[in-house]
A and B are shown apart, each in its own frame.
Chain A
Amino acid sequence: MADIITVIVNGEPRELRVPPEMPLVWALREELGLTGTKLSCGIGLCGACTVHVSGKAVRSCVTPIGEVSGPVTTIEGLSSPGGLHPVQKAWIENAVAQCGFCQSGFIMAAAALVDETPGAQHAELLQQMTNICRCSTFSRVRLAMLTAAGHGVKSHD
């Protein structure tokens, strides 16, 4: 039988009775009801399932819940009491999303990049964004990354 696994999700400790090999994406979606994190390719390639573990972008469809060693932040927990994360603001300002299904993952990947590499050049940031969007919103992702980098890092604190 599954042991109890304790994970901090969006700042709150959560107890899960699931097998440790269950991918984090399913634990978030079906055990905790956090459906903002999506599943698409299932092999860690498209990035739709991206969440933060200890502030780093992680593809939750290939991350077993038992191997999660730090606090998890999902799209639902990205904003702070002070407001939306600068990347979210930039995304809304540039009207990036079309169907929106991949956008949680896109925003989480972009937020980790912007937060981790303050002052990074726009092109450097873009090179590291490997998420797939089938609506092909890339033209506006590019604009939003420019806006987000310009907003200043961690201005939401």
Chain B
Amino acid sequence: MTEALQVDRRRFLGGAGAVVLTLVCGDRGIARTFGVPEPVATEQVFSAWLSIDARGMVTLVNAEAEMGQGTNTAMAMLVAEELEIPWGRITTVPMTARPIYTNPAFGMLKTGASLSLKGRYLQLRQLGAAARQMLVQAAAQEWKVPSQACRAVAGEVHGPDGRSMPYSSLVAGAASLPVPQDVPLKPRADWAILGKPQARIDMADKCTGKARYGFDKTVPGMVQAALVHAPQFGARVKAVDSKAALAVAGVTRVIALDYAVACIASTSWSALQGADALVIEWENPDPAAVIDDAKIDAMLRDGVAGKVQGRNGLIPAHKVGDPAAGFAQPGVLAVSAEYSTPYLDHACMEPTSAIAHVRPDGIDIWSSTQSPAMIYHAAKLLYGFEADKVRVHQQPIGSSFGRRAQIDGELEAMVLSRIIGGPVRAIRSRSEDIQHGFYRPASRSALRGAVKDGKIVAWSHRCASQSLLDNYARYFREYGIDLKELDKLTGPAGASGFNFAPFDLMSVDGTPSNAVYAIPNVEVASAKIDVPIPTGWFRGVGQTNNLFATECFVDELAYAAGQDPLAFRKTLLSGQPRFLAALDCAAREIGWDKKPAKGIGRGIAITNMSDAVTVAIVEVAASKSGFEIRRVVLAVDNGIVINPDVVEAQTQGGFLFGLGAALWGRISIAEGRVEQTGFADYRLLTLQHCPALTVIQMPSDDPPSTISEAAATVAAPALANAIFAANGRRLRDLPIARNDFECRATVA
């Protein structure tokens, strides 16, 4: 950490109890506070990170959302290693969001983009090391010996002559010491906790029903508000007949917003029943502007064909060498193909909900959010409250994949709370949730490639999709919030993930603009379509679209060149030792060098997302009408590994998440609205289609990097490549199920 360390004293008002050493590690560095909160309640410890109680139990405030990716455990491991406490003596609590918790790698307080470990890796180890040194020094003073003669061992300080004191007895002394600066961190070779599989600290709670999520939170006096949104995108509320809704027992009130109606009741079930009974007349958009899949498809085709002029037309995004000359070389074999992907919903298990209490003196929000800072800054723009008057109480998230980076539920809860004048929990039915998501945009990729002497000599990738950002601005305008203002408040320019360039960079992620392959001549161009469908970040973001096209097309070029897809890739990756090692490892594991039986095929896909190395090989048995996934091997180099057990779990889960989407995932649009109504018509993966999956970890010395986002993106191309290898069918349109091609169950 480069910032100066600064001491900050703060006394907490809490129940009587032990003195607690509390360290603060904010944008100004590590500082210390002390007080008596026991047990630590996040509401009390407003700006603290770490405390040690009378029993020697350490509590860490987790400033990263826990949504299954294991931040509770990883963050605690980072601290425990340097603090020298046994694993099991540390627990975490979710934060009440404050600017000091900003993720240094993100530049803002948000969980996402696979940046949790990257941002906290150094910061939390420094925090643990500073606390350890203060405890050692306190013992040395107590014993009147030099601190060099003392050392921290398993939650105690050991001194000369076999003396020892537990941390809990040293906390008071340590709390009065200056905070040490630049304490050397343990070398990796000495790690006892990091880099080794550790049990998740929240596993038992999640297996006994004790774990609480945002959806489980209650606040005294809270009412339930079930929302019904305009089915057609862009429609407005025209008239509401609330008679039947108000007749439902427990329903107290119906509130019409511009684009949605809320049914208020004392219980969730009453509110949802009342919402069902609402008779709403909508003012629909001009029929000529009403979109459907056919219109969207035609727009995407026009986009990649270069038929659109102006701001939505093709914009050059990346260029290497002289692509035109590359294609014009004599003796090249040129290949072209188009790929398409559909809209996808996150379909989180935890339905969207949020609690807000807007008072004259401030706001409290309880929610399962990835974007707490965006919430308090939006509240400032809405109501003029400064950030310290808006307390966002982070709740554990019941899966997110980018969905809860959006703050639609929180905004609705705030608006309703202000109207009602008390705490409100905004909820929605599953069908409302799936019809009003922030979807992974549909896309089309048009590719041209030229091969010569067994190598790719030129590549052209034109892609078209909605911008992730355009509709975002539209969404916030509903609330009178200027997205540019919000962006400025939330972080350094553009840090909140928005950029205001002519196209968003995410729309070309996964094209050869950032692929690892050595291709001498490359051009990438991106076109936008402008339709009123809310879009947003989705596990893997742009790569979920473009990597499918890129990795399948590499295969097409390999076959065109008469080469084995593995050998062909290795030639293109000759300067990439980490990739070559992972490819070789995965190939060995699946037995690539043994020619499979007829009807069996193997497919490869790789990605360098976030500088990690992710290689997947899928093996299928396929006939003309269907296929079965026999095996999946993933070889991953995620840099320095904090918890190998979680790396394995996240790689498995990420890949299977991508696999389910590849097989069946599709949000379809008809008459300007989403057709799907829930999990019955938005098919999701179950155990019966989960293939045997081997994860091989090949950690390196690079900083900790992405795990599941990368694993999610390789599933579709590896599967499509395997199917082609098995039966010669090249599937270029996702989901696979759209090709009259059935994935048979693999469990038996």
Residues of A within 8 A of B (CB): 2, 19, 22-23, 26, 29-30, 34-43, 45-46, 48, 74-76, 78-79, 84, 88, 91-92, 95-104, 107, 123, 126-127, 129-142
Given A43-B430, A45-B679, the answer on whether A133 and B747 have CB atoms closer than 8 Å is no
In angstroms, Cα B70 to Cα A99, docked, is 8
Would you mind naming 30 contact pairs between A and B with Cβ atoms under 8 Å apart?
A22-B269, A23-B269, A30-B268, A35-B212, A40-B351, A41-B680, A45-B679, A46-B349, A74-B209, A75-B209, A88-B207, A91-B207, A92-B203, A97-B200, A97-B202, A97-B207, A99-B349, A99-B399, A100-B205, A100-B211, A102-B398, A107-B207, A126-B687, A134-B346, A135-B653, A135-B657, A136-B690, A137-B649, A138-B656, A142-B747
When the two chains form the complex, which single residue of B349, B400, B429 contacts A102, counting CB atoms closer than 8 Å? Answer: B349
Q: Contacts of B69 on A, CB cut-off 8 Å? A: 98
Q: How far is the CB of A24 from chain B (nearest CB, A)?
A: 11
Query: What 4 new A-B contacts, CB under 8 Å, besides A48-B349, A99-B398, A101-B350?
Result: A23-B269, A98-B70, A99-B396, A99-B397
Q: Contacts of A102 on B, CB cut-off 8 Å? A: 349, 398
SS of A interface (majority)? loop
Per-residue interface assignment for chain B, residues 388 to 426, with 1 indicating a CB less than 8 Å from any chain A CB and 0 otherwise: 000000001111110000000000000000000000000
Report if B216 contacts A (CB, 8 A): yes
Q: How far is the CB of A89 from chain B (nearest CB, A)?
A: 9
B349:A38 contact, CB within 8 angstroms? yes
Per-residue interface assignment for chain B, residues 227 to 264, with 1 indicating a CB less than 8 Å from any chain A CB and 0 otherwise: 00000000000000000000001000000000000000
Q: How far is the CB of B631 from chain A (nearest CB, A)?
A: 12
Q: How far is the CB of B622 from chain A (nearest CB, A)?
A: 22
A135:B679 contact, CB within 8 angstroms? no
A36:B656 contact, CB within 8 angstroms? no
When the two chains form the complex, which single residue of A74, A76, A131 contacts B686, counting CB atoms closer than 8 Å? Answer: A131
In angstroms, Cα B203 to Cα A79, docked, is 15
Q: Contacts of B209 on A, CB cut-off 8 Å? A: 34-37, 74-76, 78, 104
Given A92-B207, A127-B747, the answer on whether A100 and B657 have CB atoms closer than 8 Å is no
A39:B649 contact, CB within 8 angstroms? no
Given A36-B208, A101-B213, A135-B68, the answer on whether A129 and B687 have CB atoms closer than 8 Å is yes
Which of chain A's residues has its CB closest to B658's CB? A136
In angstroms, Cα B429 to Cα A41, docked, is 8
In angstroms, Cα B203 to Cα A88, docked, is 10
When the two chains form the complex, which single residue of A22, A41, A42, A103 contacts B207, counting CB atoms closer than 8 Å? Answer: A103
Report if B96 contacts A (CB, 8 A): no
Report if B173 contacts A (CB, 8 A): no
Q: Contacts of A41 on B, CB cut-off 8 Å? A: 430, 678-680
Report if B210 contacts A (CB, 8 A): yes
When the two chains form the complex, which single residue of A78, A98, A123, A141 contacts B68, counting CB atoms closer than 8 Å? Answer: A98
Q: Contacts of B652 on A, CB cut-off 8 Å? A: 136-137, 139-140
A136:B685 contact, CB within 8 angstroms? yes
Most buried by B among A29, A48, A100, A141: A100
| B window 340-365: CB within 8 A of A | 346-351
Q: Contacts of B645 on A, CB cut-off 8 Å? A: 95
Q: Contacts of A97 on B, CB cut-off 8 Å? A: 68, 200, 202-203, 206-207
B68:A99 contact, CB within 8 angstroms? yes
In angstroms, Cα B205 to Cα A75, docked, is 11
Nearest first, the 7 A-B pairs at minimum CB distance are A36-B209, A101-B398, A99-B68, A100-B206, A75-B209, A136-B656, A98-B68
When the two chains form the complex, which single residue of A29, A36, A88, A140 contacts B649, counting CB atoms closer than 8 Å? Answer: A140
Per-residue interface assignment for chain B, residues 214 to 234, with 1 indicating a CB less than 8 Å from any chain A CB and 0 otherwise: 011000000000000000000
